[in-house]
Amino acid sequence: MALIKCRECNKEMSGNAKSCPHCGNPNQPETIESTGKKWKGMQLWAILIGVAGIILFVKSDHENTVSAFMIFGGAIGFVLGKVGAWWYHR
Ligand SMILES: [Zn+2]
């Protein structure tokens, strides 16, 4: 259990605490926000991989298995990113 500094009053508090025991500033929102960003980043990468796969697919006269896997992987990653962002957004 790590001690962190409160963003409002700069006093030490437990990282697991829902709010600061000194000033009552909530600790949770920042965690949820950064989690959301992580999942959004995953969606972004999934889109990039999927688009790169489509470009590769078109350029290789539709005979590239790797590009098909990239499109497939990109689609899976995008759905996982969506589900993850939804699941942790509480
Ligand atoms: Zn505080």
Q: What is the mean pLDDT of each run of 10 residues along the chain (90 residues)?
A: 84 87 79 73 93 88 81 92 79
Q: Which two tokens stand for residue 16?
A: 């697991």
Residues sharing a CB contact under 8 Å with residue 36, sequence separation 6 or more, in sequence order:
85, 88, 89
Ligand 1 centroid distance, CA of 87 (Å): 28
How far is 71 from 11, CA to CA, in rounded Å?
48
Tokens 């290789």 — which residue? 60
Q: Which two tokens stand for residue 61?
A: 């006269």
Ligand 1 centroid distance, CA of 63 (Å): 60
Q: What pLDDT shows up at residue 48?
A: 95
Ligand 1 centroid distance, CA of 37 (Å): 24
Torsion of CA 70, 75, 77, 80, to 10 degrees: -160
Ligand 1 centroid distance, CA of 11 (Å): 6
Ligand 1 centroid distance, CA of 12 (Å): 8
Residues sharing a CB contact under 8 Å with residue 35, sequence separation 6 or more, in sequence order:
88
Ligand 1 centroid distance, CA of 5 (Å): 8
Nearest to 14 by CA among 4, 28, 23, 6: 4
Residue 14 — φ and ψ, nearest 5°?
-70, 140
Q: What pLDDT shows up at residue 9?
A: 93
pTM: 0.54
